[in-house]
Structure 1
């Protein structure tokens, strides 16, 4: 019985700390670039093009920023399409190349949001669908 009481007291002492910890955590939110991106990329020769089909989810640090990202979605979508269109076939097809593209798209989207809103806003992006064909 004493051990039970000790546990109850112990957990009741921890409760205020766990609640404040939860409040300090950012409330991440996601918004997808809709519709999915389908665009061409540079093929192995100048006369051959491949295409890539990508679904991108944008992660923001706070739910309140979703409306801001949605407002600028045409600019963000256009930027992502432009970056994919400049990529060579080797980069589109490789896993390390895909990560390089993801980082390039992330940096460009963050830069645009910084210029348009004065804040970084976008925390990260995720490719939830990634298909390519030559």
Structure 2
């Protein structure tokens, strides 16, 4: 290869890289992220005055789309955690004993999380709430 061709090609490579970084690149749809509340929530529930202490451990993930939504969830995580702790503390033993009641709790947790974020951010931000693990004793 002739030396002047190599120099010409080397000079063109940076311009090709800049052209690809321009507005022509398509990022595609926003990315879905499942953000886990760490550490898992642990606490007492069903404080009915009985002799036995009831304990829960909830590993919760929040489904969000896009970096702005993820940043909002991270920023308001202490408020979200507080809301979840209050919700779990209000539960009775019967409310956490069946699959249907756990699904109802999941739906209520999603609703309250969306309400908190709607109050703070002006939109619900969280699309879904999942119990990765829910242990009750």
- Higher helix proportion (structure 1 or 2): 1
Q: In the alignment, is residue 103 of structure 1 matched against residue 114 of structure 2? A: no
Which of the numbers 65, 70, 94 marks the counterpart of 2:69?
Answer: 65
Paired position in structure 2 for 1:78: 82
Paired position in structure 2 for 1:122: 126
Cα separation, 1, equivalents of 2:53 and 2:83 = 20
Cα separation, 1, equivalents of 2:36 and 2:102 = 18
Cα separation, 2, equivalents of 1:85 and 1:32 = 20
Q: Given that residues 114 and 120 in structure 1 are in contact (C-alpha distance below 8 angstroms), is that contact kept between their aligned partners in structure 2?
A: yes
Paired position in structure 2 for 1:36: 40
- TM-score between both structures, scaled by the size of structure 2: 0.75
Which of the numbers 42, 46, 49 marks the counterpart of 1:46?
Answer: 49
Give every structure 1 segment of 4 or more consecutive aligned residues whose post-TM-superposition deviation is greater than 3 Å: none
Shift of 1:90: 1.1
For the aligned residue pairs, the C-alpha RMSD in angstroms reads 1.8
Paired position in structure 2 for 1:113: 117
- TM-score between both structures, scaled by the size of structure 1: 0.76
Name the larger-Rg structure.
2
Q: Given that residues 28 and 63 in structure 1 are in contact (C-alpha distance below 8 angstroms), is that contact kept between their aligned partners in structure 2?
A: no
Name structure 2 gaps, 5 residues minimum: 1-25
